[in-house]
Amino acid sequence: MSAEALSVRALTKVFRVADAKGRRAEFTAVNDVSFALEPAGSLGIVGESGSGKTTVARMLVGLEPATSGTMTVLGQDRSRPARKAADRRERARQMQIVFQDPYTSLDPSQTIGSAVEEVLRAHSALTGPARTARLTGLMDQVGLDTRQTAARPRELSGGQRQRAAIARALAADPKVLILDEAVSALDVSIQAQVLNLLSDIRAATGIAYVLISHDLAVVRQLCDTVLVMRKGEIVERGDCANVLDHPEQEYTRVLRASVPVAGWKPLTSARQAEPS
């Protein structure tokens, strides 16, 4: 088995679109992207909207087929979406994804406990008391109590729903977890709580993370290494702290400069940016 949890080589995604006159055209959303993730590692992929980072995430979990390139998870080729149910279950046991908005990914008619137990039934051989104990352990791990486990998504706060989504992903016992803007919809204090939770989970389980984000502060807190994407291509990569503190590319410097700092006032900054 490969020593890498995830290996991506020359990954490319081309969409066929129609131009303003209805003529067929091609748009390259991701072009020749390559990277590797070690077991228990944490990789951030950053860039502005339209940089291709979310398309990479969708290809990794099989929601979008790659036009070309290869993806290997735990030594197994996952370059094409799974077609058989057994293959889909095996892929799900290797890699899971947590989306930005848990309210749209959780079934509003299910309690949180039922949603997580459904994954346990599909991906583990646990039954009876053993399954109940695993469910309780997952809820404890993400900081949800008995009342919240019995609640439906609409009865929880945004942070609690995201904790539930993390628990459901962990129920499959994956080795790689994709976090697609997983804290961007939360306020800053709740973001910090969820990021600390994710750090603790990684330390306890050895799971590897791929964090998709536009927020450099979030990437800095959770990731060891980082890729910077622009217009579908990687423009800079390396140790997270080194890239963010000493960026070599102008695009990375612009991303870093766009992060608000103490005393930043949106209206004042906007007026200063306007031509006189």
- What 3 state SS string does 162-174 have? HHHHHHHHHCCCC
Query: What is the Cα Rg of the chain in Å?
Result: 20
pLDDT tens digits along 5-42: 999 999 999 998 887 777 888 999 999 999 999 999 99
Size of the chain in residues: 276
**Mean pLDDT of all residues in 238-246:** 94
Q: Give 103-151 pLDDT, tens digit per residue.
A: 788 999 999 999 999 999 999 999 999 999 999 999 999 999 999 999 9
- If one compares 256 and 119, the residue with the highest pLDDT of the two is 119
Q: Is-contact 95 177, C-beta < 8 A? A: yes
| C-alpha span between 76 and 36 (Å, rounded) | 14
Q: What pLDDT, on a 0 to 100 scale, did the predictor assign at position 259?
A: 65
d(CA 226, CA 46): 7
pLDDT at 199: 94
Side chain identity at residue 134, one-letter code: R
Q: Share the mean pLDDT of the chain.
A: 89
In this structure, the strands spanning 176-180 and 208-213 are parallel
pLDDT at position 102: 80
With bands split at pLDDT 50, 70 and 90, how would you rate the model's confidence at 97? very high
CATH class of 6-101+174-259: alpha beta
Which class for 34: exposed (0-12), middle (13-18), buried (19 or more C-beta within 10 A)? middle
Residue 268 confidence (pLDDT) above 80: no
**Assessment of whether the complete model's pTM goes beyond 0.95:** no
pLDDT at 269 over 50: no
List the structure tokens of 221. Answer: 């807190």
Cα–Cα distance measured from residue 71 to residue 87, given in angstroms and rounded to the nearest whole number: 15
At residue 272, the pLDDT reads 41
Strand residue runs (E) in 146-207: 176-180
Among residues of the chain, what percentage have pLDDT more than 90? 69
> For position 36, what pLDDT does the model report?
96
In this structure, what token pair is assigned to residue 228? 């910077």
Residue 226: per-residue pLDDT: 97
Nearest partner of 220 among 6, 43, 4, 50, judged by Cα? 43
The gap from C-alpha 212 to its chain's centroid, in whole angstroms, comes to 5
Of the listed ranges 123-137, 225-239, 260-274, the one predicted with least confidence? 260-274
* Whether 121 contacts 132, CB under 8 Å: no
Residue-wise pLDDT for 172-217, tens only, equals 999 999 999 888 878 888 888 999 999 999 999 999 999 999 888 8
CA 247 – CA 255 distance, rounded (Å) = 10
pLDDT cut 70: percent of the chain above it: 93
Q: Residue 275 has what pLDDT? A: 38
Alpha-carbon gap, residue 99 to 241, rounded angstroms? 25
**Alpha carbon distances (Å) from 204 to 12, 200, 201:** 34, 6, 5
Provide, for the chain, the percentages of residues in helix, strand and coil under a 3-state DSSP scheme, each rounded to the nearest 5.
40, 25, 35
Rounded Cα gap, residues 170 and 141, in angstroms:
10
Using one digit for the tens of pLDDT, what is the confidence trace for 69-91? 999 999 999 988 778 888 888 88
Q: Where are the domains of the chain?
A: 6-101+174-259
Structure tokens at 108: 């509003």
Average pLDDT of span 59-65? 92
